[in-house]
Structure 1
């Protein structure tokens, strides 16, 4: 695989992992009744923001883990 293809795979999988994880974090916060876009910065809004951030980070970590396992095959 050429360098350009490797970089495209790396960037694409990072983006998909981050966005997918952030959407899962948003969905979980929505199910728990936390409003991400509430007026002001109440505790529920801060918790929802944290869940979206953690979800994005975990999704990115999972994408990188997938790439490392794929590379070793």
Structure 2
């Protein structure tokens, strides 16, 4: 995982947890704008989420943050 994606995921998870609590769920789309302005980074996130970790569409933000911090 690139440092750019790792930083983005942690930042978004922290924001979601802060505003909605520790039970908030996220999908890998949460890390991107509705506009697909960085397809390479989106594919990296999707591959990590779906192929590498076989995660469900929505997972707890705290779980995702923990996985990313341990890379």
Q: TM-score range by the shorter chain?
A: 0.3 to 0.5
Higher strand share: 2
Larger radius of gyration: 1
Higher helix share: 1
More relative contact order, 1 or 2 (CA 8 Å, 6+ apart): 2
TM-score by length of structure 2 reads 0.36
